[in-house]
Amino acid sequence: MGSAPDGPTGPVAEDEDEAAAEQDLLVEDVSIDGMCGVY
């Protein structure tokens, strides 16, 4: 299921969080159901 990492990101922690996010989220499952294509 696709999801964005959430939680506050301060200026100092942001780089580290992004690096960690990069490592852990190299592959992300995406769940879309046509994106409002009604069909």
Partner 1 sequence: MRLVEEFEAGLEAPICITWELTYACNLACVHCLSSSGRRDPRELTTAEAKGVIEELERMQVFYVNVGGGEPTVRKDFWELLDHAAAHRVGVKFSTNGSRIDAAAAARLAASDYVDVQVSIDGATAAVNDAVRGPGSFDTALGALERLAAAGFEKPKVSVVVTRQNAGQLDDFKAIADRYGAQLRITRLRPSGRGADVWDELHPTAAQQRSLYMWLLEHGEAVLTGDSFFHLSAYGEALPGLNLCGAGRVVCLIDPVGDVYACPFAIHEEFRAGNVREPRGFEGVWRDSELFAELRRPQSGGACGSCGHYDACRGGCMAAKFFTGLPLDGPDPECALGHGAGLLAARGAEATIPAPAVDHSRVRPAAGPARGRPAPVKPSPGRPARAGGAAAARPPAKVCDEDPLAEFLAAGGAARSAAEA
Partner 2 sequence: MDPETGLEGRWRLHPQVALRPERFGALAYHFGTRRLSFLKSPRLAAAVRGLEAAPDPTAACRAAGIGEGELPSYRRALATLAETGMIVPARGAFLSDSENNSPRQVAA
Q: 31 and 1 in contact (C-beta within 8 Å)? A: yes
The yes or no reply on residue 26 touching partner 1 (CB under 8 A) is no
The yes or no reply on residue 1 touching partner 2 (CB under 8 A) is no
Beta carbon nearer to partner 2, 13 or 25: 25
CB of 12 to partner 1, least distance (A): 19
Rounded to a whole number of angstroms, the CA Rg of the chain reads 14
CB of 16 to partner 2, least distance (A): 15
Q: How many CA atoms lie within 13 A of 39 on its CB side?
A: 0
